[in-house]
Structure 1
Amino acid sequence: MNTTNNSIEVKFPGAAGNQFGRNTYLTVIPFKSVERFLTVFPEVQRKINMSRVKQIAQYVIQGTLDRNYSFLSAVTASCRGAIRYDDETKQVSIDINSTLSINDGQHRIAGIKMALDTMKKDISKETDDSIKGNLMKRLERLENMHIPIVIFDKMDEQHEQQLFHDLNLLAAKPTKSVSLKFDNTDPYTLMAKEVSQDNHYLIKYGVETEKTQLRDNNPNLMLLSTLRNMISFIIAGNDKDKGSEDTLCLGNYDAWKNEIEEILDLLFESLPNDCNDRTKYIIGLAVTLQGIGKYIHSVRNGDDLNWKDYLAGLKDINWKHNNRMWNGYGGSYDDRLERFVFGGTGGGINGVCNALVENNRSKTITTSN
């Protein structure tokens, strides 16, 4: 803090510029200070989504762990009060009575606050001195992290509302496949990316990493998001798992990756050589591949047969669209399209899994005996 002309100022390192005739300042604020300087005014912000705040808080907490990648983009605010830039010291000076009104980033700021509060509560509850010491180090590291702030000067309420509109409604959101392609925090996504580049079957059939859906002229077998969910079904039995010590984490990642590679090899050895032909087989449908993943989880966790026998038995399954066996398992054959069509994602996944349980099990048992 500094006193200038009878006013008290808070100084931050930064830079100054001009955008469309308005003074603009760039600075960084420590996580531990965001609540003190940044404020949300309802008239220029939407209603906060606490579910999103919790997700960001968990993301922030995970970022204190080793080998994790966590990033928060700059928050945009407008200064309601006095602000200036000292070119000599390269500092942004804000009057202590000024307020920084958040125009974009309220969920990030709320997530940071929740992450700090959560870690403090965890520390107060912990009785193991070793664990408590580790948590305290992580909290100190978190408190001293900084978030970049872009500050606009001299904006009235209408301009703040327009700033919110432009930042939130004009930005182009990347497709889900592109988002997953560059995500290195979710262990299932990370594994999907790695096996898509390592497994010779996936290299042969192809994994689409850009588009959100596959048309008949796309030679790739599946989307990256489908592979991610398929792996999650195999390991955890569902596609919502975020990874944990009981499912997939850094400690068991390499072992699971080797297991997934073997499972994929056995699976594709039992599927038709042209299984990526979506006009011929239902295999290239996202629900089918995820349903196969759920089926693999069920047989791997059974105790009546070696799970590899079940995968070998898939070679006797008729995967063609016109196979009436599929009727009743989450969809029906469409005579107009000349294809089997699933009624919904969840029902289709369960339908494929149930179809394989009921039709592959008896064949596998007969063959094994």
Structure 2
Amino acid sequence: MKNTSTEFSYSFPVIRGIQAGREYYTTMCPLKLVPRLFKFVEDDLPADLRAQRTLNKQRIPSLARYIIDNKKSYAFSALTVSIDGEVYFEAASNDPIGKKLGVLSIPMEARFLINDGQHRRAAIEEALQACPELADETISVVFFVDSGLKRSQQMFADLNRYAVRTTRSLGILYDHRDPLAELARMLADTVPVFIGMTEKEKTTISNRSRKLFTLSSIYQATKQLLQKGKNTKFSKQEEKLAIEFWTEISNNIPDWLLCKQKKVSAYELRADYVHAHGIALSALATAGSTLITTHPEGWKKHLAALKDLDWSRHNREIWEGRALIGGRLSKAKTNVTLTSNLLKQTLSLPLEPSEEEIETHYAPGKK
């Protein structure tokens, strides 16, 4: 790029690259400079005059807390920034490698437009207020030279066009900070009926899959069973209880064991039975939590009543309006509660006042 005529400029050590026939530059920027250089000033502009979505301020505290709580292990991807102005790149030398390394000078009157990373930028600013010691840490920044809004808008569209959010199961599989995720992984590899029967990557199970459970459903159900929140540590006793509970549950749902033994297919169970879906795991956990509280010493023997429960989806008198809406499984919170209510009634357990209220509203609709 040609030399800038301004007397005052920012200078960044960069690596120069070529993409789509255009030069771009990658640098490492100290966190303390991120809020000063890359300001978000487009909140009040109409959508067609902005280069990105408006800032969702509700996301900022959780992102900032992520940095603060994980100062030794947080990881942020690069900010992508367009420079609206003339820049000058001075190569380190004339050899092939030296031509790609150098210093990028950007006039101070140039505008920076964040194409990707405005929420990270805001989170960094908030985190620095709580942890000033992070000031000299760095984040990578990719600079594109762009003298117009149209290309910046197109870059935003392109950068987000193929972005795919990871599934809940995959997030749990790779999350080594959340103790509950660690417990769910351990259960999937320890409870006999879960071993080899748990889909660890996807949140939904395809028709042809031989899996019967998802890692995300085990995670959510165990959270309900132990009445613990995310990022809450578990005692060895609680871990043992979770293993014993799910093992004992499987002993009282014979179809699960038949599927494990390959005597019946997972597809058949999903097509014909409520217990082959995540709503059943959640309901079993909710009922199980009450059972263990009510009968802390003899809870296992009470689970035998589950063997007499007709889990067939064709039994509309039992399941329609509870786990099923119009013959289809429903994951709505009310339906999970109504399903757990039925399990509690099967196990001769009392309902909570909020559960009683939901049950009361369900009964008239059943007639």
Preserved contact between residue 322 and residue 333 of structure 1 (Cα < 8 Å)? no
Unaligned runs of 5+ in 2: 43-49, 93-100, 260-265, 350-367
Partner of 2:63: 56
Q: 2:335 aligns with which of 342, 348, 357?
A: 348
Residue in structure 2 matched with residue 130 of structure 1 by the alignment: none
Partner of 1:226: 217
Partner residue, 1:264: 246
The superposition leaves residues 63-89 of structure 1 with CA deviations (integer Å, 9 ceiling, x where unpaired) of 22x6xx532111100112343334327
**Against the structure 1 CA distance between its residues 109 and 270, is the aligned structure 2 distance closer, same or farther, given a 3 Å change threshold?**
same
Cα distance in 2 for residues equivalent to 1:333 and 1:40: 46
2:146 maps to 1:154: yes
Q: Find the aligned partners of 1:308 and 1:142 in 2 and give their Cα distance.
A: 51
Give the AA of the match of 2:9: E
* Whole-angstrom CA distance in 1 between matches of 2:253 and 2:84: 64
TM-score (norm. length: structure 1):
0.76
Aligned pairs (5 A) from 1:1-369 = 7-42=7-42, 43-64=50-71, 69-88=73-92, 90-117=102-129, 119=130, 139-204=131-196, 206-236=197-227, 241-243=229-231, 248-249=232-233, 252=234, 254-272=236-254, 273-274=257-258, 276=266, 277-302=269-294, 306-323=298-315, 326-327=318-319, 330-332=322-324, 341-361=328-348
C-alpha distance in 2 between matches for 1:333 and 1:95: 62
SS class of match (1:18): strand
Which amino acid in the other structure matches residue 253 of structure 2?
L
Rate the CA distance shift 1:222–1:141 in 2: closer, same or farther, 3 A.
farther
Deviation at 1:287, TM superposition (A): 0.8
Q: In 2, distance between residues paired with 1:19 and 1:253? A: 52
Q: Shift in Å at residue 109 of structure 1?
A: 1.0
* Aligned-partner residue type, residue 347 of structure 1: T
Task: Say if 2:194 and 2:213, in contact at 8 Å, map to a contact too.
Answer: no
Contact 2:85-2:147 within 8 A present in 1 as well? no
SS across alignment from 2:24: strand
> Any idea what the Cα deviations from partners look like across 1:237-259, whole Å, max 9, x if unmatched?
7xxx323xxxx22xx36554333
Query: Is the Cα contact below 8 Å between 2:17 and 2:24 reproduced in 1?
Result: yes
Q: Give 1:165 deviation, angstroms.
A: 0.9
How far did 1:227 drift? 1.3
* Structure 1 residues 17-53: Cα deviation after superposition (integer angstroms, max 9, x where no partner): 1212322110122222211111225221211112222
Distance 1:211 1:30, change over 3 A: same
The number of aligned residues is: 321
Give percent identity, aligned residues only: 26
Post-superposition offset of 1:96: 3.4
Shift, 1:97, TM fit: 3.4
Whichever residue aligns with residue 88 of structure 2, its letter is R
Look up the SS of the partner of 1:109 in the other structure: helix
Are residues 326 and 55 of structure 1, via their aligned partners in 2, closer, same or farther at CA, if it must alter by over 3 Å? Answer: farther
**3-state DSSP of counterpart to 1:278:** helix
Provide closer, same or farther for how the CA distance between residues 211 and 92 of structure 1 changes in structure 2, counting only shifts above 3 A. same
Match of 1:136 in 2: none
What's the Cα RMSD here? 2.9
TM superposition score normalised by structure 2? 0.76
Distance 1:314 1:150, change over 3 A: same
User: What stretches of structure 1 of length at least 5 have no aligned partner?
Assistant: 120-138, 335-339, 363-369
